[in-house]
Amino acid sequence: MNLNQKSLIDGILEGDRLIIGKAISLIENGEKEGFTLLKEIYPLKKDIFVLGITGPLGVGKSTFIDKIIEKLTDEFDKIGVLLCDPSSPISGGAFLGDRLRLKTKNENVFIRSMATRTFPYGISPSLPFIIDLFSASPYRNIIVETAGIGQGDVSIKNFSHLTLVLLSPLLGDEIQFLKGGLMEISDILIVTKGDYDIAEPFYKTLKNSISIFYNDLIPVYMISSSNGFGIDDVYNEIMKKRLDLFSSDKYLEREKIRRLETFKYLLKELYTKKMIEKIEKEGDFKEIEEGKINIYQKILDIIS
């Protein structure tokens, strides 16, 4: 470990915001230095709590987070917020609009927006590694907002300890929700924009469906981030479930999943990338283009 790395690690352990920001950039850029850093801090990790917040674009995720941060900062010393912002499919650039919704100026809240780039999932490509980074820092109560761009968002379940699914009465989400596998991942269901008249019947129908199909196993709430309705109830439910996690085997079970999924994710993201680069370097791409290589033979050679 060189001096530079040592000061990075010390900065992360101490919660130095500038250094954590720098470390995130190293990881996001896929630089080897970032992964060397992760290797060094892996043994220094402590228990982390990741609250995943998902639901379609525009449902009110960021606005809800803004409300819930106020309460979380009363309870916990430091809060990390990771926003997976949808990237524009045309320009490839991120809107980074989520950041604008979060108004907190609290020094103990670390907020980072991360573009999803052209990544097919609703999470940013480096999110699982950044969660590991945070677990060595004092920011060990983390909120993650997914991009809300499609079915890929459900992958958040693999990396969070508690998953909140938000649905808006305005988007006709019920069908989308039933189709998209969101039901399977939700620990708490939240109907947003409760200040609209149509919210109440939507909420009742949803609650009814949950009681029929899921035996009331998933709690359902209605909130309004505009007038504050229901926010306290959701907060109390989160805290209740958090306590339940830590006082049972459930936390360890979720951690087992998170560790393994993070490793598989590393393989998918980095190993595949390296393999493609290697094959390209060897000049095989040209021959593949020209039909000189039997691609199925090539794959058999690689995997055997």
Which residue number, 132 or 173, has a Cβ lying nearer to Mg ion?
A: 173
- Using CB under 6 A as the binding rule, whether residue 59 contacts ligand GDP is answered as yes
The CA-based angle 29-33-37, given to 5 degrees, is: 110
The residues, ordered by sequence, that sit 6+ positions from 232 with a Cβ below 8 Å of its Cβ are: 71
Measured CA to CA, the distance from residue 35 to residue 161 in angstroms comes to 24
Pattern 83-112, ligand GDP, x by CB under 6 A: ---------------x--x-----------
x/- binding map, residues 171-210, to ligand GDP, per CB under 6 A? ---------------------xx-x---------------
Identify the three-state secondary structure at position 85.
strand
Residue of the chain from 116, 146, 163, 225 that contacts ligand GDP (CB under 6 A): 225
Task: Write 263-267 long-range contacts (CB < 8 A, 24+).
Answer: 265/128, 266/128, 266/129
Closest distance of CB 234 from ligand GDP, Å: 12
Shortest separation between residue 110's beta carbon and ligand GDP, angstroms: 19
Does 193 engage in binding with Mg ion (CB under 5 A)?
no
Site for ligand GDP in 264-303 (CB under 6 A): none
Binding range to ligand GDP, per CB under 6 A, among 15-23, 102-110, 206-214, 219-227: 219-227
The pairing of strands 109-115 and 79-85 is parallel
Minimum CB separation of residue 149 from ligand GDP in Å reads 10
Shortest reach from residue 262's CB to ligand GDP, in Å: 25
CA atoms of 182 and 130, how far apart (whole Å): 24
Rounded Cα–Cα distance for residues 20 and 17 (Å): 5
Q: How many residues touch Mg ion (CB under 5 A)? A: 3
Instruction: Say if CB 67 and CB 193 are below 8 A apart.
Output: no
Q: Whose Cβ is closer to ligand GDP: residue 26's or residue 81's?
A: 81
Give the other-Cβ count within 10 Å of 250's Cβ.
14
**151 touching ligand GDP, by CB under 6 A:** no
Q: Is residue 226 at the binding interface for ligand GDP, with CB under 6 A as the rule?
A: yes
Cα–Cα distance measured from residue 22 to residue 41, given in angstroms and rounded to the nearest whole number = 15
Choose among Mg ion, ligand GDP, none what residue 284 binds, the Cβ cut-off being 5 to 8 Å by kind.
none
User: CA 4 → CA 1, 19, 37, distances in Å?
Assistant: 8, 11, 10
- Measure Cα distances from 270 to 30, 134, 230, 297 in Å: 9, 20, 42, 23
Answer for the pair 222, 194: CB distance below 8 angstroms, yes or no.
Answer: yes
Check binding of 224 to ligand GDP (CB under 6 A).
Answer: yes
CB 69 within 8 A of CB 142: no
Site string for Mg ion, 10-49 (x = CB under 5 A): ----------------------------------------
Assess 62 for contact with ligand GDP (CB under 6 A).
yes
Interface positions with ligand GDP (CB under 6 A): 57-63, 98, 101, 148, 192-193, 195, 224-226
Interface positions with Mg ion (CB under 5 A): 61-62, 98
